[in-house]
Amino acid sequence: MATDHRRAQKKNATGTFFFFMATLIMWAVSVFFEILFDNRTELLPLIFGFAFYQIFNWVCRNFISRDPLLVNTCVSLLHSSLTSASVVFILVKQLASNGVDELFEHSQLVNTTWPLAYSALCISCGYFAYDQLDMLLYGLYSGWIPSILLHHFILLGCFTLALYRNVTINYLILTLICELHSIFLHVRKVRRMAGIRDGKSKLVKTEWFLNIVTFLFARLLSHILITLKLVKDASKFEKGVELPLALFGMAGMNLLNVFLGLDLFNAFRRENRNNVHES
């Protein structure tokens, strides 16, 4: 614990910490202003999401482990599981009601909000704010421009502006299907922290299979298809920030997906190489 505290103190003295903490504070001020002064009570699930995951963090820290990385990973695993279930439920319900063609029609994705979609997006946005704060406070990042902090920065910007303007909510719900892959990212972290690293075991092989398949289809392919849909329907957007913001957000997500894919490939190769050497 002393090592973790010193690591957090050292990282908290860097420009990276001050930049991302400042943007998070500005975001929080903006949200409270919208709720308190503009009476945007529909944004309250955002506060609930932040509080819910912060409380679960406290429960993990006091009853499971004091390790900040393990606690953060357990909370992230809970978010990925709940968000995936919510997104799948919303999509299945819409498919049953409207069919595929209407589901992906431009006006449906941009100007309409599916039942529960707004609240689900608020709660997920609250989680990303919580996670950003937790990683900053405990130094759970590396580098001058950490990809994980940049990822949350992009998501908070895009999600919050969409919630304020109540547009493209359904598009953003579609992007959250990537949380299916995040489940196995977090499971892998927990598995390795538990000391289970035998690449020859059926458990690890199954986990890697699900990790790679969900990365390819739930994250990489889905985000590429969403980007192509935005480009195809560009002329249907009204003049404003919606299209540029959506394209910027998806460009950032696709770039981060490439880096994540490379990290996964290297991790998979490294684990298999280590098992070959051990045998």
Local confidence pLDDT in tens for the 279 residues of the chain:
555 655 665 666 578 899 999 999 999 999 999 999 999 999 999 999 999 999 999 999 999 999 999 999 999 999 999 999 999 999 999 999 887 878 899 999 999 999 999 999 999 999 999 999 999 999 998 878 888 999 899 999 999 999 999 999 999 999 999 999 999 999 999 999 988 877 778 888 999 999 999 999 999 999 999 999 999 999 999 888 889 989 998 998 999 999 999 999 998 888 877 665 554
Cα 165 from Cα 64, distance rounded (Å): 40
> Could you list the residue range(s) of the whole structural domain that residue 188 is in?
2-278
DSSP 77-104: HHHHHHHHHHHHHHHHHHHHHHHHHHHT
Name the residue among 124, 136, 22, 13 with its Cα closest to residue 76: 124
Please tell me the pTM assigned to this model.
Answer: 0.91
Contacting residues for 100 by C-beta, under 8 A, at least 6 apart? none
Cα 180 from Cα 157, distance rounded (Å): 22
Our count of domains for the chain comes to 1
